Amino acid sequence: MSKQIMIVDDDPAVRYTVLEVLRGADMNAIAVDSGEACLEELRKGFHGVILLDIMMPGMDGWDTLEAMKREGLNEGNIVCMLTAVISPSEEMDSVKDNVLDYVRKPFDPDGLIATAKEYLSYLRTVPDENE
Amino acid sequence: MNIVMIGASTGGPKALRSLFEYLPRIDAAVILIQHMPKFLNVSFCKALSERTLMDVHLAVQDQLLEHGVVHVAPSEYHLVLADNRRIDLVRGVKVNYVCPSVDVAMLSLQARRDDRFVGVVLTGMAADGAEGVRHIKNLGGMAFVQNQMTAAVYDMPHSALLTGAVDFQGSPKSLREKLVETFGVLETTTQTVTG
């Protein structure tokens, strides 16, 4: 599966906006509404940049990240947490080396595009172990 | 030997992009600790090397520090310096929940005549780097941190600031200028910045 972007957020307005912004910049993006759905996409082979909301009902962003680590689904993917919270909580300590960036809501569209492009470019230059 | 140790975590790649943009070859060796997954080590170094005239390398065991060179700590190893000159990569438990740890690297610096140190703490969660800049200050060095306005996560710079050891805080761009002002630029025959 090609390298792309996955937005994980329970708020349909956020999902819609982010998809519009990223697709408007010719980026290949998908959106899911929960941590469980994110894990399912990863199990199906998603590979790319994950924009993961922290505050979600049920399985929140931290729970999702922990589950990704347990199943090894974080390997080869870049995770950026999305939040309106001013400062991260201590819950993040154990998984912080898996989170490359922290994107604040509401989004600045240009900043969001720049962030997504930068991290996708990192993935494009990762040496492929199969090559 | 002039040594700059820079620590960054969450939000670090963007801050470092700004700090290294057009950075000339400063007259110091730079040790860079960016918390990141191991698979990104090579692409991170490549992206950084495209920003600066300094040589950027993923640090290797027993490598000697060199002015004008950025030595990037590889993931899953603590980077410590032997006699402020030689890189030692150490497998070990996480410190401050991370490996490599900024504190571990900075605390390995030793008082040595004619050596000058600067510790820089950029965006990131929790407090890695705070003890490190306190140590650098005790050695007679200086400490710079990223300011709140530009940090994606202000925890690490703020924790460093609370030690009372910080000499300057500012944007990544102003930190770049401060490094150039502090150490000066290495003389080279060709210095062309593109992009």
Tell me how far CA of residue A51 lies from CA of A19, A25, A82, in angstroms.
Answer: 11, 16, 6
- How many of the other CB atoms lie within 10 Å of CB of A36? 15
Residue A130 lies in a domain: no
Domain count, chain A: 1
Domain that holds residue A52: 3-124
Q: Is the ipTM of this complex over 0.85?
A: no
The string of pLDDT tens digits covering residues B46-76 is 999 999 999 999 999 999 999 999 999 999 9
Specify the CATH number for the domain of residue A100: 3.40.50.2300
Residue B71 known to be catalytic: no
Q: Which of residues 5-64 of B touch A (CB under 8 A)?
A: 9-14, 17, 35-37, 39-40, 42-44, 46-47
The string of pLDDT tens digits covering residues A40-73 is 999 999 999 999 999 899 999 989 999 999 999 9
Nearest to B153 among A88, A90, A98 (CB): A88
Average of per-residue pLDDT across B75-99: 95
Residue B43 lies in a domain: yes
Reported as type and span, the H/E element at residue B137 is: helix B130-138
Q: Which of residues 62-81 of A touch B (CB under 8 A)?
A: 74-76, 78, 81
Q: Which residue has the tokens 């790649």?
A: B13
CB proximity B74 to A under 8 Å: no
Residue B115 known to be catalytic: no
Task: Count the helices and strands in chain A (H runs, E runs).
Answer: 4, 5
Band the pLDDT of A90: cuts 50, 70, 90.
low
Residue B111 lies in a domain: yes
Residue B85 lies in a domain: yes
Domain that holds residue B156: 2-183
Residue A39 lies in a domain: yes
Distance CA B156, CA A81 (A): 17
Tell me the average pLDDT of chain A: 87
- B86-90 and B78-82 beta bridge pairing: antiparallel
Q: Which residue has the tokens 């500012």?
A: B170
Domain count, chain B: 1
